[in-house]
Amino acid sequence: MRAEEILEHLVSFPVFGGQSNLSIAMWIEEYLAEQGLTFTNVPNEDGTKRSIHCRIGPAVDGGVILSGHTDVVPVEGQSWSHDPFTLTDGGDGKLYGRGSCDMKGFIACCLAVLPDMLKANLKKPIYFAFSYDEEVGCLAGDALAASINDTYAEKPKYAIIGEPSMLQPVVGQKGIVVYKTTLNGSAGHSSGIRKEVSAIHEAARLILWLERKMDRLIESGQTDDRFVPNHTSIHCGVFKQSGAAHNIVSDHACFLWDVRVIPKDNAGDILHEFEEHCRQVTISCRERFPDFQITTELYHPNVVALDTPEHLSIVPFIKELSGRNDLGAVSYAAEAGQFAEAGFESVICGPGDIAQAHRADEFISKEQLDKGVDMIRQLVRKLS
């Protein structure tokens, strides 16, 4: 099957982040099995989702992992010109469909070149690593990378994460972590606001403290010009379950905030400083309301940043494969940092433009899909 035909199948599975991916996983597994390949599953706890990995070629050190995620983002609220789950040739050189670009296009390229991999006399192995739940916080990347380490006696050297980058090698990726902060206040008449403790007012001050913390990081020179924006961002995106009426002091407030760190910042340090500040606030609020409390918990696990130094051998390797010499860095979360953390030299490099990802009428150009196939064929030649 050509990459376009495979992509048609992959796009037809509406597997959203957070939901079961068994339908698409089984289709991929059947395809692998037809080619005579054995594979390993990395299931979630209740068996409703699973990652897949397999090796093609000899069990020797120095192989290359090709990584992709099988889930996509929702289409609700978006106005699509075509059915998002029917790959549609627009006649304009573009193939439209949810996930065509992010990132079933890359998986289709991998699967399309599989017969060539099997025929080639590979001296170093290639691994496929396909995950789930990437779009809701890279929830399966760590376990997938760990399972590759545990399953194979040999050690793969490189990991190429095929997120859409127009096949530009990307060596930096911000990390992300999401926290949930909850406050309780004293419910009283609103006229007594100066003797009560309003959970909403205190929460608002904490959110402004977080914004100020971001500003202080920037002012102290914590920037990295490879990224846009060039600094760690701290942002409160959800404020909920707060307040009963305009004339009652709120006894409850809750907000979610995300931290997107450049590699030289550390989300844990930011959390630590925030919690220290919360302790001071708590001491002072308890003078008016002894049961006052602020708690902060992890809402989405930490996705580590990627910072692949240019002296690593994967850098010239991926430059040659992709035919591009300009290295990039991205501000979105991806599994690349997780693969790097597991001990593989890692880069992001895949077909399609991230500008099309997550949008209505997402597409991948046929040219990019062809170039993705060419890159993987080139990989097969290099490892043969």
Binding site for Zn ion (CB under 5 A): 102-103, 163
Nearest to Zn ion by Cβ — which residue? 102
Closest distance of CB 162 from Zn ion, Å: 9
For residue 186, give the amino acid letter. Answer: S
Task: Tell me whether residue 55 or residue 104 sits nearer to Zn ion (CB atom).
Answer: 104
Pairing of strands 126-131, 64-69: parallel
Closest distance of CB 163 from Zn ion, Å: 5
Residues 6+ apart with CB under 8 A from 301: 137, 139, 177
Task: Tell me whether residue 126 or residue 336 sits nearer to Zn ion (CB atom).
Answer: 336
Q: Facing residues of 234 across strands? A: 259
Closest distance of CB 204 from Zn ion, Å: 34
Task: Tell me whether residue 294 or residue 306 sits nearer to Zn ion (CB atom).
Answer: 306
Q: Is 250 helix (H, G, I), strand (E, B) or coil?
A: coil
Distance between CA atoms of residues 379 and 126, nearest Å: 9
Task: Tell me whether residue 103 or residue 294 sits nearer to Zn ion (CB atom).
Answer: 103
How many Å from the N-terminal Cα to the C-terminal Cα in the chain?
22
Task: Tell me whether residue 4 or residue 163 sits nearer to Zn ion (CB atom).
Answer: 163
Task: Tell me whether residue 66 or residue 103 sits nearer to Zn ion (CB atom).
Answer: 103
For residue 316, give the amino acid letter. Answer: P
Token pair for residue 185?
A: 């206040």
Cα within 13 Å of Cα(54), Cβ side: 20
Distance between CA atoms of residues 8 and 169, nearest Å: 26
Task: Tell me whether residue 29 or residue 163 sits nearer to Zn ion (CB atom).
Answer: 163
Task: Tell me whether residue 108 or residue 207 sits nearer to Zn ion (CB atom).
Answer: 108
Distance between CA atoms of residues 21 and 49, nearest Å: 5
Closest distance of CB 140 from Zn ion, Å: 13
Closest distance of CB 352 from Zn ion, Å: 10
CA 298 and chain centroid, separation: 17
Confirm if 372 and 109 have CB atoms less than 8 A apart. yes
Closest distance of CB 103 from Zn ion, Å: 4
In the chain, the largest separation of any two C-alpha atoms, in whole Å, equals 80
Closest distance of CB 134 from Zn ion, Å: 6
Three-class secondary structure assignment of 360-384 = CCCEEEHHHHHHHHHHHHHHHHHHC
Closest distance of CB 59 from Zn ion, Å: 30
